[in-house]
Amino acid sequence: MKAIVMTGYGDVDRLELQDMPEPAVGPGDVKVQVKAASVNPIDWKIRKGGRQGFIPVKFPYVPGRDAAGEVVEVGRDVKRFKVGDQVMGLVNGGYAERVVAPAEAWAPVPASLDTRDAAALPLVSLTGTQLMEEGVDPARGDTVLVTGAVGSVGRAAIHAARRRGAKVWAGVRRKQKGEAAHLGVDGVVAIDDPADLDGLPPLDAIADTVGGETTERLLPRLKAGGTIGSVVGEPPGAKARGFQVRSILGHADGKRLAQLGEDVARGELAIPIARRFPLKDAREAQQAAEHGAQGKVLLTP
């Protein structure tokens, strides 16, 4: 089968289209003919070598955490799926014509969704949801700020917070305030505008997808004993101030992904798709995503 292979750490020239062995199906596994994969920041962070301490890879390495397509084989004991089903999943090795992952990683694609578009959902929708549900865990009526709110993970976090009955504020750049106003939140604040921050109410929690100085500027806005859920690491000084900090790493959850897919199908959650590239153009796709595509970038074998 054809796959995009990372031959070493470095620039996009380390990505090559190669022939790779067909992945084997073990007990409990599902093999999928990929109709689309998506590009995520973790893909180029791994490529550049910035995650060696957390995610060591063995070369040649096939990147990609999202895939959607048609089931072509199921392992022994798999009852949830059959050949021909349209599925999406949080996987490893998504930049390929075929992918194998445990059945628990896959979710059915709702009939009203294009299977190729469903490839945009797994990593970002699960990460944003888990950030809110496991990292922040807000009570009804809590005031929660989501940083990077117009990003895909931020949108999913907002969706999960609203489901919990929280009061949600979208934290964005000044130039993104107009877009953020359409997210269905209780308020929008430009985090890069000190004057705008003055209008932010006291916060019970922060769901952080940005990190760095942006988050440090927000700490004085958080109530004593408040909570910070983060997908970008612990903010410096947060625990010293007495805040609860929970770092979240998105993980596979087929049942929760199925629910999120239904939410998307009903129009309750939207993950914008910016561009589509053939699998062979993975270099250009990663560059487009890294340099500010306004939405998800998809690869189609």
110-145 per-position pLDDT tens digit: 999 999 999 999 999 999 999 999 999 999 999 999
pLDDT at residue 196 above 90?
yes
- pLDDT confidence tier of residue 181, bands split at 50, 70 and 90: very high
Inter-residue contact 94 to 63 (CB < 8 Å): yes
What does the pLDDT average to over 99-107? 98
Residue 54: what pLDDT? 80
Inter-residue contact 203 to 222 (CB < 8 Å): yes
Residue 119: what pLDDT? 98
Q: Which residues of 156-175 are buried (b: 16+ CB within 10 A; e: fewer)?
A: bbbbbbbebebbbbbbbbee
Residue 301: what pLDDT? 87
Contacting residues for 125 by C-beta, under 8 A, at least 6 apart:
152, 156, 257, 260, 264, 269, 271
pLDDT at residue 180 above 90?
yes
Residue 271: what pLDDT? 97
Which domains, ranges and CATH numbers included, belong to the chain?
2-121+271-300 (3.90.180.10), 125-247 (3.40.50.720)
Of 149, 139, 138, 132, the closest CA to residue 183 belongs to 149
Residue 51: what pLDDT? 84
Instruction: Look at 216 and 282; give whichever has higher pLDDT.
Output: 282
Say whether pTM exceeds 0.85.
yes
Residue 101: what pLDDT? 98
Inter-residue contact 39 to 296 (CB < 8 Å): yes
Nearest-5° Cα angle at 161, 261 to 229: 105
Q: What is the per-residue pLDDT across 31-84, written as a single tens digit (0 to 9) for each?
A: 999 999 999 999 999 999 988 878 889 999 999 999 999 999 999 999 999 999
Range with the poorest average pLDDT among 17-21, 189-193, 213-217, 282-286: 213-217
pLDDT at residue 213 above 90?
no
Residue 52: what pLDDT? 84
- pLDDT confidence tier of residue 22, bands split at 50, 70 and 90: very high
